[in-house]
Chains A and B, each alone.
Chain A
């Protein structure tokens, strides 16, 4: 048993054996007890952990299978990173239709968590662009799953947290882009209502919208932040060739660098540095879509106890008041993160039985793990989310109760019939309690 292979939040700890996969034609390796497929380990909580079991490390399944440059259909093994796909397809005029906030996730992970991006209101979640995949079960059976063929297995596996079997390869539909750049506009906003107004006005003409929110602001300033929107564009004439910063958090500091002092200072400065009126600028896709990927191992700055990420979605009727209540409770706690994100999801249906994205407003932020006070705060946030009829994102969760999970995802019972009998995860055992 090795303590290696932590999740991105570095909490909780799990002791697990690791078996590497590198041949998609091979049967699953033999293991005792339960196992869980593992991609690049960027899930925050315990959906990518299997304490006391075996992780099937799929990063060695990293071969492309076919890429049709006319139609943008790409087939590759499930351990290929989104980063590798972008490196391959952007110079050829294609882009992934949906990317999360990091490009260092595998295709298998993106499917298993049915990830979403800043363009959710325009295009929906990742699973909508999965044309088909192969699902290998522990009994040795292989199924090709698509919205047409084995559709029940398809909907269970998209967003299925890796529990339905191992995805060996998948086929994606890419989308055309004029270049590697974005035409972006940014401005700050002084209150939460302005966020909703800016979002509503931007949705038609901008494919990508997102807001950073100052999670320390209270009173009249509650919900103030910086709104960004953008569209794909060709390389602008003024574009300077960017040097990759390649910053790194080289060691885990003995305590969290995110504390009351740094939190207020950073948030205040970030808000006041942003332009008051809309400012237009061309940005390369890497810093615009993946700002945190510029700082390698940034998760270490929370110190040895790690952190908890919290992402929820609140449906439209309750969203405004609900988000206000959440921000109020967070600001009152004096905790939170440098990067709190607010975004309006669109109405496009997510394909998976357990998919998280649904119409409404989503809020995401980290909390340094300070023990019971942090967990109590998150429980209080859950009260707001549950009362609003919302949901919490499993890919980022390490602590919601089973009761809450079953309330957020009422299709869990239907889903559980598709779980591979030899597969399990720390997350699943926790929420089934």
Chain B
């Protein structure tokens, strides 16, 4: 393989698919993991037409932790290693259902938080052994501070952000970069039910920011950039005020 080798987990997500198209245009080889076999294969075929050197697709259910090791081993042996690994799977839990149903809340926490920790741990071992590459994972601005409207999702993403921060320190000397991606509101099928305002971004725009941040070996990136400012303001609100506002 001449171009970069890319592994994408959650490859059918709108942001992940846009990232994959950018790499395909560069002649990359892409290994796609997704829950839905047909859709994963459809995207793999699309990427070949768009210029990917090679594509493979496989099935991965993120919350099935027992399957992670074998699935990642198969990916590594197929491509002989990866230059970029993007973890992009996720759901948008219904917060009021989380409040009423602890089992549901834990399942959603597993999909958006624990499974990413599990995958990142195993991927880190492989990149560490390689001594190169970038692990990029999609967290969220929602992880910067818990808000009443989606704190289950936010707390799972907070776990991801904090985990990645430590992992980045650990792997820094090993030549492996860890990128934490914090998108704001993105207009995707996952957020189809929301009313869209001026803060909303298109997945293609987020994808360009992700690829740029990977190229530049950044640590943490807010996408679009203005979310860094917004979250700085939200983060600066004292708790005795924050507890009284609706957000």
Question: Whole-angstrom distance from the CB of A134 to the nearest CB of chain B?
Answer: 13
C-beta contact mask, A3-27 vs B, less than 8 Å → 1, else 0?
0000000000000000010111100
Q: Which residue of A22, A66, A67, A88 is within 8 Å of B189 (Cβ)?
A: A22
Q: Which of A23, A66, A88 contacts B39 (CB 8 A)?
A: A23
Report yes or no: B49 in contact with A88, Cβ–Cβ below 8 A.
Answer: yes
Contact A20-B43, Cβ < 8 Å, known A25-B38, A65-B49, A88-B49: no
Chain A residues with CB below 8 A from B50, complex form = 64, 88
A20-B49 in contact (CB<8A): no
A60 sits at the interface (CB 8 A): yes
Enumerate chain B residues within 8 angstroms of A191, measured Cβ to Cβ.
none
Residues on B with beta carbons closer than 8 Å to the beta carbon of A25: 38-39, 42
User: By the criterion CB–CB under 8 Å, are A24 and B42 in contact?
Assistant: yes
- Binary per-residue interface labels of chain A (248-291) against chain B in the complex, 1 for a CB within 8 Å, 0 otherwise: 00000000000000000000000000000000000000000000
Q: Contacts A25-B38, A88-B49 hold; do A63 and B189 have CB atoms under 8 A apart?
A: no
Q: A23 to chain B: which residues have CB within 8 Å?
A: 36, 39
Does B1 touch A at the CB level, under 8 Å? no
Q: In the bound complex, what is the Cα–Cα distance between A66 and B49 (angstroms)?
A: 6
Q: What interface size band does chain B fall in?
A: 10 to 19
Known: A24-B42, A25-B38, A25-B42. A64 touches B189 (CB 8 A): no
Q: Which residues on B sit within 8 Å (CB–CB) of A20?
A: 189, 192
Is there an interface contact between A63 and B43, defined as CB atoms closer than 8 Å?
Answer: yes
Q: Kindly list chain B residues whose C-beta atoms are within 8 Å of the C-beta of A24.
A: 42
A-B contact count (CB 8 A): 29
- For B42, the closest partner residue in chain A by CB is A63
Chain B residues near A65 (CB-CB < 8 A): 42, 45-46, 49
A66-B45 contact given A20-B189, A20-B192, CB 8 Å threshold: yes
- The reply to whether A64 and B192 contact each other, CB–CB distance below 8 Å, is no
Q: Which residue of B lies closest to A61 (CB)?
A: B42
Q: Could you tell me which residues of chain A, from 63 to 99, have a CB within 8 Å of some CB in chain B?
A: 63-67, 76, 88
Given contacts A20-B189, A20-B192, A22-B189, contact A64 B46 (CB under 8 A): yes
Q: Which of B41-99 contact A (CB under 8 A)?
A: 42-43, 45-46, 49-50
Which residue of B is nearest A21, CB measured? B189
Q: What residues of chain A lie closer than 8 Å to B14, measured between beta carbons?
A: 22
Task: List the B side residues contacting A67 at CB < 8 Å.
Answer: 49
Contact flag A64-B39 (CB < 8 Å), given A20-B189, A22-B189: no
Tell me which residues across on chain B come within 8 A of A60, comparing CB atoms.
Answer: 189
In the complex, what's the smallest C-beta–C-beta distance from A306 to chain B, in angstroms?
23
Which residue of chain B is the closest to A64 with respect to CB atoms? Answer: B49
Kindly list chain A residues whose C-beta atoms are within 8 Å of the C-beta of B43. 63
Minimum CB–CB distance from A107 to chain B (whole Å) comes to 14
Contacts of A66 in B (CB 8 A): 45, 49
Q: Are A63 and B38 in contact (CB-based, < 8 A)?
A: no
Interface of A with B (CB < 8 Å)? 20, 22-25, 60, 63-67, 76, 88
Identify 20 residue pairs between A and B in the complex whose beta-carbon atoms are under 8 Å apart, listed by A's number.
A20-B192, A23-B36, A23-B39, A25-B38, A60-B189, A63-B42, A64-B45, A64-B46, A64-B49, A64-B50, A65-B42, A65-B45, A65-B46, A65-B49, A66-B45, A66-B49, A67-B49, A76-B49, A88-B49, A88-B50
**Further contacts, 9 of them, CB under 8 A, given A22-B14, A60-B189, A66-B49:** A23-B39, A25-B42, A63-B42, A63-B43, A63-B46, A65-B42, A66-B45, A67-B49, A88-B50
